[in-house]
Amino acid sequence: MLNRLIDYTRAHIPESEPGFTVRDIRWRIELTKDGRLAGVLPMGDEDSGDERWCCPEMHDMQSGGKAHFLIDNLKTALMFKAAASDKSRHEFYVARIRDAAMEAPTLTTLARFLEDDTALGTLRQTLLAPPHRAKPTDNLEWLIDGWNPLKDSAVLDWWRCWRECGRITDDNVMVCFASGVTAAPAITHPKVMRLPGGQGSGDALIGFDKASFTSLRLKKSSNAAVSERAARSYVDALNHLVRHSSRRLGESLMLHWFKGTVPDKDDVLHWLQDPPGVAAASAAIAARKLFEAIRTGLRPDLSSNEFYALSVSGMSGRVMVRDWTEGRFEDLVSHVEAWFSDLAIVARDGHGHAHDPKFMAVCGALVRDLKDLPAPTAATLWKVAVQGLPIPQPLMAQALARFRADLVDKDQPAFNHARMGLIKAYFVRRKPGGDPTMTASYNPNHPAPAYHCGGLLAVLANLQRAALGDVGAGVVQRFYAAASQTPGLVLGRLAANARNHLAKLEPGLAWWYEERIAEIMSRLGDAAPRILDLEGQGLFALGYYQKLADLRPDKKTTVTAYVINEQGAQP
């Protein structure tokens, strides 16, 4: 994984270098040549600011009293809303600018400005007042009479030299765990920023902050030897991916990239998050066309490509790697096509298939609220999607439990397309090569009695509604849980009671319902199963939902049948 990240940095971040990092710049402070405040320019937006690479990064910030060179937050650089304890950081910040002024004299102007309490007070008031309303954690950059110090090679060379002289290194030369070259290992590694659950100051992927984690008297991160350049490379790659190629999956981020170039329109991993809006086709069909183009040689640019996907989150200052996946791009396209095909389900109104679900909609189908989704669950489902794996039974059980809960709760939507698609996909993927009996719509020839038991309950529920209207807690609310677990003990009584409902209908409509019940009874054979296991309950739920959808477009048919019957014709 580290090696792939280093390769990414070589290809996409040529400016990566030890001692420099990426920061969000919210404010540009402009000074005149003689050190007067010329203006305050907001950068980027309020949430993130303007992305800036090659910002000097101070080493060993944990030692206290240190500040980054030139690019730092308002609290440190200007004592903006700062406490007395922050003064040492501000003094360190100004002292480094004074030191650099020996190589770049223009910085003397900036140092004098920062030591002028009146000038600083005016700048703080400007930043505090509308429309700026700056925050102490916002980062700033300087422009002196149009001169940007971070564009000056003399300033950058001074920083490299100063940092190298003051940096703590390990005298031991070791084989770098990430690159395989021999070098002195980095004592501490740079931080990965913006991770869900992470710290504002960033999180470390490799770190040894307790003596009990170390061995052979090695210092800190020397226990997992990675050279400083390799450490900078993999962290820059992670920060770049977090900013430009990441999607939120519950409490984690999914980062992905490719070995070669892939046009945005062909990035099927984005399709999982946002299925393409194809007017006359589904995401599965679009993926199938792309797969065929690769297989037949029409897309040689993608045939030898590879993909990499990494799920990460932050916790207590550590980067938590939830999952790592890599493989051929061609296989990925095939698995994405299968994902959407397996999830395909009839729409609840019975007219066509439901829209392709977004990945987070599938994850959300497992919980009452998306914020309750555990990060490992999202990572597991992602792995299922990109590797074409079977859906774990516990996830199907979760979906089934949510289905039952929502079914009896009138405050919740009756049916969730993504949830029903996930239950169907579980059965499709249970058998190698798929299960042809698991169709998107109701399959009257399905071999499982449990499936038809669910279909029978759907017909009986519709019959009750046709005969009595809305009775509040009807057949489904009162008997679904028992019927889905012990259909042999419940459905017989419900079917017997259906005669009372049939008696309340007009003859044509009653005949139509009798036909529907007889069709299903013929599939059940001698009797309904007495007890259903978890998989049987899943088939029951699927049969119930698909049959209910199958009945809804037939309302016009039932009315037509009734009218014909009233005229004395065979319906």
In one-letter notation, the amino acid at residue 249 is L
Interior/surface letters 341-376, b for 16+ CB within 10 angstroms, e for the rest: bbbbbbbbebeebbebbebbbbbbbbbeeeeebebe
- Burial (CB count within 10 angstroms: exposed 0-12, middle 13-18, buried 19+), residue 413: exposed
Average pLDDT for runs of 10 along the chain of length 571: 95 94 96 95 88 92 87 96 93 96 96 95 95 94 96 95 78 86 90 93 89 81 90 97 90 92 91 70 83 91 93 93 93 94 92 90 91 86 94 96 83 78 96 92 93 92 85 79 91 86 88 89 82 95 94 58 44 37
CA distance 344 to 362: 12
Exposed/middle/buried for residue 279 (C-beta within 10 Å: 0-12, 13-18, 19+): exposed
Measured distance CA(21)–CA(56) in Å, rounded = 6
- The pLDDT, as a whole number, for residue 554 is 56
Within 10 angstroms of residue 265's Cβ, the number of other Cβ atoms is: 10
| Annotated domain spans of the chain | 11-166, 168-244, 247-430, 449-566
Report pTM. Answer: 0.84
- Nearest to 465, CA basis, from 571, 558, 560, 348: 558
CB 483 within 8 A of CB 457: yes
> What's the 3-state SS for 332-381?
HHHHHHHHHHHHCCECCCCCCECCCCCHHHHHHCCCCCHHHCCHHHHHHH
Which two three-digit tokens encode residue 173?
């030369």
pLDDT of residue 212: 77
Show the DSSP H helices in 106-210 as ranges. Answer: 107-114, 117-128, 153-166
Beta-sheet pairing, 139-144 with 182-183 = unpaired
Predicted pLDDT at 538? 96
pLDDT for res 568: 44
pLDDT at 414: 63
Between the alpha carbon of residue 34 and those of residues 102, 110, 121, 160, 407, the distances in Å are: 18, 9, 18, 28, 73
Cα–Cα dist 210/214, whole Å? 7
Q: At 554, which helix (H) or strand (E)? A: none
How many helices (H) does the chain have, and how many strands (E)?
21, 11
Measured CA to CA, the distance from residue 83 to residue 89 in angstroms comes to 11
List the structure tokens of 539: 């088939």
Task: Return the percent helix, strand and coil in the chain, to nearest 5.
Answer: 50, 15, 35
